[in-house]
Amino acid sequence: MASRAEEPFRLLFRRHTPALLRLGQRLLGGDAAAAEDAVQEVWIRAATRLPDFRFESKLRTWLCGFVVNRCREVLRSRGAMAPVAALPAEPAAVSGDAARALDLERAVRGLADGYRMVFVLHDLMGFTHREIAVRLDIEEGTSKSQLFLARRALRRRLAGSPVREDHHAR
Amino acid sequence: MPDEDELTEAERHAIGALPAESRMPPGFEDRVVASLRAQGLIEATRPAGLAYRRSVLRLGLAAGVFGSGLGTGLLAARYAGSVPQPGAGPLYLLLLYPGPRFAEGSAADEAARVAEYGAWAGRLQRAGQLVGAEKLKDGARLLEGDATVASEPGPQGFFLIRARNAEEAETIARDCPHLRHGGRIGVQAVDPT
């Protein structure tokens, strides 16, 4: 029976958790508390299966797969009644790239679950449509059309955003 | 009007500027560890003393040696394996050099290389023969007297192993995937005196 030492686990945890939390928050529409719960569950699943990890893929990619699965479960359990996560308080002053990043994050959070999932995986995480299709158990064409619609929705949202390049405190 | 099938350069820039990580909430790591402990999924590190703890940390810090996979492979092997203390026997230093035919490899090759290095390090780990590993920065300055007489690429990193004798140390080195990728390995015994 293999033993499982705590200290190396903590090193793995510290290396990968910040990225897993960010992915979880994005997939769950900005719900930080739900993302924490999801990532905790991910580590439990990963710890159960890490001895089987064969280095056939990057560990980060392997862990991200658990995050995607867990977040899908959470979204499914919420169903159509899912509340939109509260957006963070407006910072006192935001400008330039920071303002654009905030706008984009907000716009992504506002996407429908299916659009958001495909957009995050494809445009932010670099998954291919084939990988997304396998991961989400959908057709590759569905992934492409979801991405098309997600980008269009984002562009429309951002076009109406009050934050501009010359944005100052409001 | 942008083509909605493709991202514009500005959009790519905006997406690329988004943060890739979130700050860990205070206490989150301890909460998760406590939960895993309660479920018997991890065990508190044995009180093996500072040397062992330093060894584990060094293995962690070695992440990125010879491609990003090896460090993670070492860590994962540490976690998933039997975590043996290094056994008895003479120490040997395996110094890894790029070599004239060394190929960095494309991103596509990385997963395969991770598997190779991970399996090799894992075997040493499970056999209790891996004592330490470190990545070295590029460039070695050779000093003589008050002068720097040369600068050379130097080794990329090293493994400190235990083997029964020089023959076994060489056998271990010859099995290292570094040689298959065109690198060179220097095998040198540690003088215990």
A110-157 pLDDT, tens digit per residue, is 899 999 999 999 999 989 999 999 989 899 999 999 999 999 999 888
Least confident segment among A122-136, B5-19, B138-152? B138-152
Say if residue A108 is in the same domain as residue A170. Answer: yes
Contacts 24+ apart (CB under 8 A), B60-65: B60/A8, B60/A11, B60/A15, B61/B134, B61/B135, B62/B133, B62/B134, B62/B135, B62/B157, B63/A15, B63/B135, B64/B135, B65/B133, B65/B134, B65/B135, B65/B156, B65/B157
A58 has a pLDDT exceeding 80:
no
Work out the minimum CA distance from A137 to partner chain B, whole angstroms: 22
Domain-located, residue B125: yes
- Cβ B85 vs Cβ B128: under 8 Å: yes
Does residue B105 register a pLDDT over 90?
no
Chain A neighbors of B36, CB-CB under 8 A: 9, 43-44, 47
Q: Per the structure block, which two tokens stand in for A168?
A: 């100052």
Shortest CA gap B89–chain A (Å)? 24
pLDDT above 60: residue A72: yes
Query: How many domains does chain B fold into?
Result: 1
Q: Which of A55, A115, A116, A165 to mutate to test the interface with B (most CBs of B within 10 A)?
A: A55
Residue A117 lies in a domain: yes
Q: Do A96 and A164 lie in a common domain?
A: yes
> Could you tell me if A122 and A165 lie in one domain?
yes
Inter-chain contacts counted by CB atoms under 8 A, chains A and B: 143
B43 in a domain, yes or no? no
Q: Structural domain of residue A145, as residue ranges?
A: 91-170
Q: What is the pLDDT of residues A14-46, one digit of tens each?
A: 889 999 999 999 999 999 999 999 999 999 988
B43-89 tens-digit pLDDT? 775 444 444 334 433 443 343 344 444 455 555 555 554 444 455 67
Single out the residue in A80, A103, A136 at which a domain terminates: A80
B126 touches chain A (CB under 8 A): no
Instruction: Say if A1 falls within a structural domain.
Output: no
Mark which of A37, A54, A80 sits at the end of a domain: A80
Question: Which parts of chain B are beta strand (E)?
Answer: 91-97, 130-135, 140-144, 147-152, 157-162, 184-189
A132 and A97 belong to one structural domain: yes
Q: Which residue has the tokens 């990043």?
A: A101
Closest CB to A124 among B18, B39, B73: B18
* Cα–Cα distance, B44 to B140 (Å, whole number): 39
Task: Write down the pLDDT at residue B78.
Answer: 54
Are A95 and A170 found together in one domain?
yes
CA distance B7 to B181: 38
B contacts of A145 (beta carbons < 8 Å): none
pLDDT at B88: 65
Both A167 and A95 in one domain: the answer is yes
Q: How many domains are there within chain A?
A: 2
Length of chain B: 193
C-alpha–C-alpha distance, residues B60 and B76, integer Å: 10
Residue type, A68: V
Is residue B18, in this structure, part of any structural domain at all? no
Question: How many residues are listed for chain A in this entry?
Answer: 170
* Contact present, B165 and B129 (Cβ < 8 Å): no
Q: Which two tokens stand for residue B164?
A: 């029964």
More confident residue, A120 or B38: A120
Print the domain residue range for B76: 51-189
Q: Which of B31, B68, B115 sits opposite A56 (nearest CB)?
A: B115
CATH number of B107's domain:
3.30.70.1060
**Which H or E run includes A26?**
helix A6-27
Q: Where are the alpha helices (DSSP H) in A28-122?
A: 32-49, 59-78, 96-109, 113-119
Whether B30 maps to a domain, the answer reads no
Residue A42 sits in a domain of what CATH number? 1.10.1740.10
Domain boundary among A22, A48, A80: A80
What secondary structure letter does DSSP report for B177?
H
Q: Averaged over B123-139, what is the pLDDT?
A: 79
pLDDT at site B117: 73
Would you state the pLDDT for residue A140? 93
Q: Say yes or no for a CB contact (<8 Å) between A21 and B15.
A: no
A105 and A131 co-located in one domain? yes
Mean pLDDT comparison of A3-7, A99-103, B39-43, highest-scoring range: B39-43
CB contact under 8 A, A6 and B44: yes
With a threshold of 0.85, tell me whether the complex ipTM lies above it.
no
Integer Cα distance of A152 and A142 in angstroms:
15
Q: Identify whether B32 is part of a domain.
A: no
Q: Is residue A85 part of a domain?
A: no
d(CA B9, CA A32): 30
Contacts of B80 in chain A (CB under 8 A): 2, 4, 50-51, 53
Contact B24 A124 (CB under 8 A): no
Kindly report which listed range (A97-101, B94-98, B111-115, B173-177) carries the lowest average pLDDT score.
Answer: B111-115
Distance CA B21, CA B3 (A): 30
Q: Name the pTM for this structure.
A: 0.56
Question: In terms of domains, do A75 and A95 share one?
Answer: no
Range with the lowest mean pLDDT among A106-110, B16-20, B143-147? B143-147
How many percent of chain B have pLDDT more than 90? Answer: 13
pLDDT value at A2 more than 60: no
- Tell me, yes or no, whether A119 lies in a domain: yes
User: Which residues in B lie closer than 8 A to residue A17 (C-beta atoms)?
Assistant: 24, 28-29
Is B56 part of any domain? yes
pLDDT-derived band at B120, boundaries 50, 70, 90:
confident
Q: Is residue B59 part of a domain?
A: yes
Listed in sequence order, the residues at least 6 apart from A163 whose beta carbon sits closer than 8 Å to its beta carbon are A94, A99, A100, A102, A103
Mean pLDDT of chain B: 72
Contact A43 B22 (CB under 8 A): no
Mutation for A interface: B59, B70, B79, B82, most A CBs within 10 A: B79
Return the pLDDT at B4: 53
Four-CA torsion A97, A99, A105, A106, nearest 10 degrees = -160
